[in-house]
Structure formats: C-alpha cells, structure tokens
Amino acid sequence: MTIQICSLLSWALFCSTAMLLAIFLKHRKGCGKSDGKLPPGEMGLPWIGETIEFYRSQRDNQLFEEFVQPRITKYGKIFKTRLMGSPTIIVNGAEANRFFLSNEFKLVISSWPTASVQLMGINSIMEKQGEKHRCLRGIIATSLGPAGLEILVPKICDSVQLYLDKNWNVREEISLYHSTKALTFTIVLECLLGLNFEPGTLNTFERVLEGVFAPPISFPGSKFSRAKKARREIKEMLIKVVREKRKKMESGLGGDEGMLFSQFVSGMIRGEISEEEVVDNVVLLVFAAHDTTSFAIAMTFKMLAEHPDYHSLLLQGTLFFTILSLQGKDF
C-alpha cells in the first residue's frame, strides 16, 4: 500500500520541533520599548514587523527551517521579533520551555493571536485564568481520569478498528494526513464528547482552522472572513445540540454521564459555566485534540516508512507486550 502524506501543516511542524511562546507585550503609546532588558533580535517594520517572512515560511512548510533556525543561529535560542502587530519573544530549548510551562499564571500568562481568540472563542479555557480556569479544567479532567479512561479507551479502539475496516483496508492508496484527520475528528466527537454530526461537519471545522493563524482582516474572500463564517455555523449548530442535551438531562433522559459533553452541560445546569463557555470549549477541544493528533500520527507513519528497521522493532515490541497482556502479566 502506498501512503501519501499531503499538506502537512507548517504550524504543527514547527510546534513539533520547537516551542513558540509569544509573550505579547502591552503597547505603549507612541513607542514599543520596554524598561526591562530584552533579548537580541530585529523588530522589523512598524506594526508589520517580520510577519511577512513568518507567513512566507509557514506557507512553504518551512517555518522552523526558514524563519526560526536562522534567527537562533544569529541571536541564540531566545530572540525578539514582531509578529502580527505585537512585540514577540520566541524561545527554544528544554530549559526555557520548562521555565515558562512551570510558571504559567505566576510569572507569565498564556496569550493567543487575535484571530485565534476570535475563532476558538473568548470563553474557552485558553482565555480563562484563576477560579474559572480551575473550574473548566476540573470538568475536563473528570472525563480523562482513570475511571473515565476505562470507558473511553475501549470506545476509541472500536472506533479506530471500524474506521480502518471501512476506509483503509478497501483501498490500495490513501492520503494519510487527510485520512487521519477524519479518523481523529470522529474519535473526538463520538468517543470523547459523545456527539454525532453530519459528514460535512469536518469541512466546516477545517474552514475555521484555516483562519486561526491568518491575519485578522475581515474583508470578503479572506481566510479569516471565511473562517468566521464557518465559526458562526458551528456555533449555531452547537447551541442547538447543547439546548437539546440540557432538556434531556433535566428530564432525566440525558445518559452518557461519563462523556465530556455531558459533563459540560451538567456544569451549565449547576450554574458553574455558561452556554457560551460550553460551546467555545467544545470547539477548542475539537481543534486541540484532532488536528495535533492527526499530524503526530502522520509524522509517525512517515518516520516508520523512512526507517524500515524501526518499523520491524516496533512490531516486535507490540507483539511482545500483546503476549504479556494475554498471559495476564504486568509490564
């Protein structure tokens, strides 16, 4: 079987090789300077900065190689630039990443480009801090704890097997990346959230994704404009589903208490979160789970295809652990 890997997202490629942490500094009227010591780098043109070079390398699927790596060579693993109108610090390396990740909400806070916030939703967990962030995180963790995983994992296995039998085993050639996106989208909706939508729903979500890192310019025909239109369609669709689910749950007919979507609606019934927060967090989780996972699967297949010896070792290891599992032994 010949496997083709098409249209790999350059943003995801960059995230798999280096962490981009953008700390958007507050603009001061009349200047963009800071009293603190900043790392070396170039801020580029006023407002535009180096956004053109950034998008050009992203379009060519060479974001790390053409944009990040040359600046690391010139300035080091931490450098400044200006992207999408905001002063930005880009860091690379395990120590720097560990510092920022371990000090979130202490020394630093998460911030996203304007386009991402508008399309993912201002009420999603990525925009929340403090008590509201802890509340949403607790709801999500309920479905992903040990008890939740005991229910979730068998469903994922059944869903994967069904998809492979229906879409892979009957073909001589597949487009791996697009196929894994359809698979992970199905898993997120049906297994994690417990939702069922029409097949065309994936295309609507894909239109939103195209505008997540696009310039937030809403003129007719632009990626961001098309993405906002698709986002409105998704919102209307989800609001209808949320209200139907709430009505069933309040009548004692909801079921699927372990499903994450049911947990969200339960939180809404209890008054802990709003309808808008349910919708925005469902959208965010679909994108967060399906797009990055499909990319990771595609890249894993690519690496295994390029290194047949590793593929053989992987099969041997899988067989070994399968035998141990059948024998009831711990590993």
Residue 287 lies in a domain: yes
Quote the domain boundaries for residue 270. Answer: 142-326
Cβ proximity of 298 and 177 under 8 Å:
yes
**Residue 82 pLDDT exceeds 60:** yes
Pairing of strands 78-83, 86-91: antiparallel
Token output for 122 = 């201002």
> Are residue 178 and residue 57 in the same domain, yes or no?
no
Residue 233 lies in a domain: yes
Residue 127 lies in a domain: no
DSSP state of 45: B
Q: What percent of the chain has pLDDT over 70?
A: 86
> Are residue 178 and residue 292 in the same domain, yes or no?
yes
Residue 119 lies in a domain: no
Q: What is the mean pLDDT of the chain?
A: 81
- For the stretch 160-199, pLDDT in tens is 999 889 888 888 888 888 888 888 888 888 888 888 777 7
> Are residue 163 and residue 303 in the same domain, yes or no?
yes
> Are residue 86 and residue 212 in the same domain, yes or no?
no
Residue 128 lies in a domain: no
> Are residue 81 and residue 151 in the same domain, yes or no?
no
> Are residue 207 and residue 281 in the same domain, yes or no?
yes
In this prediction, residues 51-77 reach a mean pLDDT of 90
Q: Residue 56 CB: number of other CB atoms within 10 A?
A: 14
User: Residue 78 belongs to what H/E stretch?
Assistant: strand 78-83
Which residue, 90, 111, 132, sits at the end of a domain? 111
> Are residue 83 and residue 213 in the same domain, yes or no?
no
For residues 45 and 8, give the distance between their C-alpha atoms in angstroms, rounded to a whole number. 30
pLDDT, position 10: 43
- For the stretch 209-227, pLDDT in tens is 888 877 778 888 888 999 9
> Are residue 193 and residue 276 in the same domain, yes or no?
yes
- For the stretch 222-269, pLDDT in tens is 889 999 999 999 999 999 999 999 998 998 876 666 688 888 999 999
> Are residue 82 and residue 206 in the same domain, yes or no?
no
Cα dihedral 76→83→114→299 (10° resolution):
-60
Cβ proximity of 129 and 229 under 8 Å:
no
pLDDT, position 94: 86
Cβ proximity of 197 and 189 under 8 Å:
yes
- 120, amino acid identity: M
> Are residue 217 and residue 290 in the same domain, yes or no?
yes
- For the stretch 284-312, pLDDT in tens is 888 887 778 888 888 888 888 888 888 88
pLDDT, position 8: 39
> Are residue 259 and residue 151 in the same domain, yes or no?
yes
The residues, any chain, with a CB within 8 Å of residue 287's CB and separated by 6 or more, are 120, 205, 208, 209, 212
pLDDT, position 270: 92
pLDDT, position 229: 93
Which residue, 64, 89, 111, sits at the end of a domain? 111
**Residue 21 pLDDT exceeds 70:** no
Residue 271 lies in a domain: yes
Residue 219 lies in a domain: yes
Residue 276 — pLDDT band, cuts 50, 70, 90?
very high
- pLDDT top residue among 215 and 1: 215
When divided into structural domains, the chain yields a total of 2
- Residue for token digits 């001061």? 28
Half-sphere exposure of 258 (CA within 13 A, CB side): 14
Cβ proximity of 273 and 136 under 8 Å:
yes
pLDDT, position 12: 43
Residue 276 lies in a domain: yes
The residues, any chain, with a CB within 8 Å of residue 14's CB and separated by 6 or more, are 20, 58, 63, 64, 68
DSSP state of 26: P
Q: Which of 207, 204, 227 is nearest to 215 (CA)?
A: 227
